[in-house]
Structures are given as structure tokens and as C-alpha cells.
Amino acid sequence: MAKVLIDLKNICKNFGETEVLHDFNLQIMENEFVTLLGPSGCGKTTLLRMIGGFDSPSYGEIYFDGKLINDVEPNERPINTVFQRYALFPHLNVFDNVAFGLKIKKTPKEEIQKLVMDALKQVHLEEYYDRKIDSLSGGQQQRVAMARAIVLKPKLLLLDEPLAALDRKLRQDLRYELKDMQRSLGITFIYVTHDQEEALTMSDTVVIMNEGRILQIGSPEMIYNEPETRFVANFIGESNIVEGKMIKDNVCMFEGVQFPCTYKGFSKNEEVDIVIRPEDFLIVNKNESKLTGKIDSKTFQGAVHEINIIDQNGVELTVHTTKDYPLEMEVGLTVDPENITVMKKPGVNTYSGVMQEDGYVKVSDDMILETESELEEGTEVVVRILTQDVLLDDIDESDFEGTITDIKKRDLYYDVYIKVGENKIVSSTSKVHKVGEETGIWVKKEKVIVSVEEDLENE
């Protein structure tokens, strides 16, 4: 079983009046390569500085190997940092730069000799030991900075955009070297970047951040293939994100066309966001798919052609192909079911229901809600309730009741999943509840939105 090395508990950080990290919780395992990925200003560096001990949280605890380290000085933490500006000493040669920390620790001379040369070997610079720093290229200087950090054998290495100052080709080469080094040294790496390609190629785990909060944590594959929100899908790669509906289990619809997909458990006609990667659209003959369009523009990107297609509804879709197609050509588009990602729209419960007497709507025998609708009894309707409008209270006081099956922490509140007979309802609340608890549920009648919608299944 992997051991937790860093445990961040309820970390908040304020600069003056501004809170830049909000109730941040994260566990990092021993030997893990974790990347914090997010746009500029989302709080990555601030978090790293607090783990390193260069700054302290306004609230919350940082544990290292089970020990609270909030008040431990940076040089007493078994942690080292590699910064974007590598801050090497220009007047010392390569060897002395790497040896610097060991000398301060009064390590015996022979040991220093061995440790420094071992570290230089790790970064492929053993032949450069007596070179002056300013005679090295940017990439070589970065390697010296790495050697200087690993020579002290830290348990955890913090890397703050260490490759940002380098050119693209060098960045790509160094990515693999860093990953190899992490594996062979068995050190935990926390790596900060806003470069999604870097995050996806190197990490075991990617933490996507925005505005001081975690949006999603997962393996690179999970994050890329199953983004949970529009933000993540947009941020992590170029994606087509279109509005759609789940017609029934395993069938979704977007751009007016139904497609088989691998998703289940949505309400009938539930509105969703659909994500399709450019490389997952297949261009076919225009008679072979109901989704058609015209090639509007294209660029050759070295490995693929990026083709922009305006579809029959005027929506632009981006496709990557290895084959070139002429401009203006009319084409069909298909996509394999497993390449369609369906994302739940945040914050809405959607059901099908039937109007009853006096403005009541019946979703099921266990869920009958009062509404302000004047629709006729027997009318089939779609019922929508925002999760924030689902209130939990004593069973005696409520409209109906259910059992809490799951609780997910969101930014400032919890999403509480409740089973009501055969249905599920989600309540967003800041109150703490427990899985397994029986709860009463009520929704104000003006918050129950009913509408009549055509049946899309038989189109």
C-alpha cells in the first residue's frame, strides 16, 4: 500500500483581504509524480511555497509523513525546490554549485566528491564538472539546478515550472529525463506547470486547479478522456464541446443527430455537455452520416491536418486527420461510441413527470411535487430542479424522503446524493450530512420548473 507523504488539510491562504486558496485538501503518496496544472494566478506557486515552508497557510494543516510541519523551517524539511529561475551561483563552477548545500551541511570532502559526481551523472553532466555556469546553455543550467536539488537526497522535490524558460524541443527532451530521474531516484515530485502537454506526459496524477480550488484529480488518461467539467475539457486539450441530451441509456443526441454512447443512468432527455476530441471525429462520405458539414478552413500542423467544419446547424467542429481534404468539400462525421464523453450539467436535477390535479407533478410514487404550473392533468412534462433548491430537513416537515447514498465535496458546499425510490436527487448544501442517513426533502413550489418537450426518442 502506498504511503501518504504529504497531507494538505483544509488549507486557506489570504493575501490581505483576498483569499487565493480556498479549503484545499490533497494527499500525495510516496514516489508519486503529481502535477498541479492550472491557469496563471490559480494558486499553484502559493501552494508549493507553503509545502516548501517559504510561506505559511492562513488556516489548515500540512503534514509530512504524518507529522505536522506548519512551523518547521524550510531548511529543516526533507524537501528541496527547483525554481523556474534556477538561481545558480555564477561565480562558482558546476561542481561547486552542486556541492554548495553539502558543504553547508559539513559533509566530509570525499563524500561530497562522490555525491556530486553521482548527481551530475544523473543529469548527464559528469564531464562538465569544472565548467563555469555562464558557459552553459539554458538546458544545461537547468540540469545543474536539478543536480543541486537531488544531491541532498530530499524525500520530496518541488518543481515550479522548471522548464518554462527553455525552448520547445529542449523542454520535450527534458520532460522524459525528469520522469526517468523521478523513477530511478524514487523521490516524490510535485510539479507545477500551466502546460497541459507537460502535465499529461510526465505525471502519475494531475490536479487541475482554477481560482484556488481543485476541479479534478486523476491520472492523465482519466483527466483527458473523462473531464468532469467544461473548464477541464477546455483546459486539458483542444476539444469540441457541444450541448446535447441523453435520449435514453446508451443514446445521446447532439447537433440534432442521435449517437450510441457508453453512458447510462441519466434521466430521459437530460441536458448534458458532450465532449469529442478532434482526433476522435472520423470524416466519412456525406451520405454515411446524419451529421454533415462543409470544410471551412484547414491548417497543416506537422503531424495532422486540423480541419474546421461548419455543420448543418452552423456550429464549428474541429477535426484532426492524417489525410488532407479540399476546402468547401461536403463531408459526413461519425464518432465511435467510446469516444463520446458525456458531462452532466452542473447543478440540475432533471426528471420526466406527469401533471396531476391542482398543479402537482408526479415523477414517481415516491416523488410528487407541488408546482405553480397550470398545465392540464395527464400532461407529460420535463421537471427540472436546481440542486441548490433541494432542501434537506426533518422527515416530518418534508414533501418526501430518501436515503443519502453519496456525498461529494464541491468548492463551498457538498453535493448530497439521495435515493428516493427508483430516482435520485442531488442537493447542494453547506450542511454536513452522513452517507446512510434518512432525510426529509422539500422544494419550494416556485422552484419546481416544468415544461412540455417533444419526445426525441422516436424522431
Start-to-end C-alpha separation, the chain: 52
Q: How far is the CB of 235 from ligand ATP (least distance, A)?
A: 13
51 binds ligand ATP (CB under 6 A): no
Q: How far is the CB of 19 from ligand ATP (least distance, A)?
A: 9
Residue closer to ligand ATP by CB (options 44, 245) is 44
Taking CB under 6 A as the criterion, the residue among 14, 25, 41, 75 binding ligand ATP is 41
Residue closer to ligand ATP by CB (options 38, 162) is 38
Applying the rule CB under 6 A, the residues between 343 and 382 that interact with ligand ATP are: none
Distance CA 250, CA 260 (A): 6
3-state class (DSSP) for residue 422 = coil
Say if CB 63 and CB 218 are below 8 A apart.
Answer: no
Residue closer to ligand ATP by CB (options 50, 88) is 50
Residue closer to ligand ATP by CB (options 43, 353) is 43
Residue 245: strand pairing partners: 253, 271
60 binds ligand ATP (CB under 6 A): no
Q: How far is the CB of 298 from ligand ATP (least distance, A)?
A: 32
Stretch that binds ligand ATP, among 41-49, 59-67, 217-225, 244-252 (CB under 6 A): 41-49
CB neighbour list of residue 167: distance below 8 Å, 6 or more residues apart: 138
Taking CB under 6 A as the criterion, the residue among 8, 35, 44, 99 binding ligand ATP is 44
Applying the rule CB under 6 A, the residues between 176 and 195 that interact with ligand ATP are: 194
Q: Report the number of secondary-structure helices (H) and strands (E) in the chain.
A: 8, 30
Concatenating the DSSP letter of every residue in 75-110 gives GGSSEEEE-SS----TTSBHHHHHHHHHHHTT--HH
215 binds ligand ATP (CB under 6 A): no
Distance CA 420, CA 443 (A): 14
Residue closer to ligand ATP by CB (options 157, 355) is 157
Closest CA relative to residue 57, chosen from 90, 19, 31, 28: 19
Taking CB under 6 A as the criterion, the residue among 35, 46, 182, 240 binding ligand ATP is 46
Residue 270: strand pairing partners: 246
43 binds ligand ATP (CB under 6 A): yes
Applying the rule CB under 6 A, the residues between 292 and 321 that interact with ligand ATP are: none
Distance CA 197, CA 206 (A): 11
Number of Cβ within a 10 Å radius of residue 358: 9
Residue 102 CA, chain-centre distance (Å), reads 38
Residue closer to ligand ATP by CB (options 16, 108) is 16
Stretch that binds ligand ATP, among 43-51, 138-146, 170-178, 446-454 (CB under 6 A): 43-51
3-state class (DSSP) for residue 222 = helix
What stretches of 28-167 show up as alpha helix (H) in DSSP? 44-52, 94-104, 109-122, 138-150
Residue closer to ligand ATP by CB (options 82, 361) is 82
Residue closer to ligand ATP by CB (options 42, 236) is 42
Distance CA 405, CA 415 (A): 11
40 binds ligand ATP (CB under 6 A): yes
Q: How far is the CB of 102 from ligand ATP (least distance, A)?
A: 30
57 binds ligand ATP (CB under 6 A): no
Q: How far is the CB of 21 from ligand ATP (least distance, A)?
A: 8
Number of Cβ within a 10 Å radius of residue 73: 8
Taking CB under 6 A as the criterion, the residue among 6, 42, 82, 246 binding ligand ATP is 42
Q: How far is the CB of 197 from ligand ATP (least distance, A)?
A: 15
3-state class (DSSP) for residue 189 = strand
150 φ, ψ (degrees, to nearest 5): -85, -20
Applying the rule CB under 6 A, the residues between 10 and 39 that interact with ligand ATP are: 15, 20, 38
Residue 408: strand pairing partners: 415
Say if CB 129 and CB 95 are below 8 A apart.
Answer: yes
Closest CA relative to residue 388, chosen from 439, 447, 450: 447
Q: How far is the CB of 149 from ligand ATP (least distance, A)?
A: 19
Interface pattern 236-265 for ligand ATP (x via CB under 6 A): ------------------------------
207 binds ligand ATP (CB under 6 A): no
Say if CB 233 and CB 306 are below 8 A apart.
Answer: no
Q: How far is the CB of 43 from ligand ATP (least distance, A)?
A: 4
List residues binding ligand ATP (CB under 6 A): 15, 20, 38, 40-46, 194
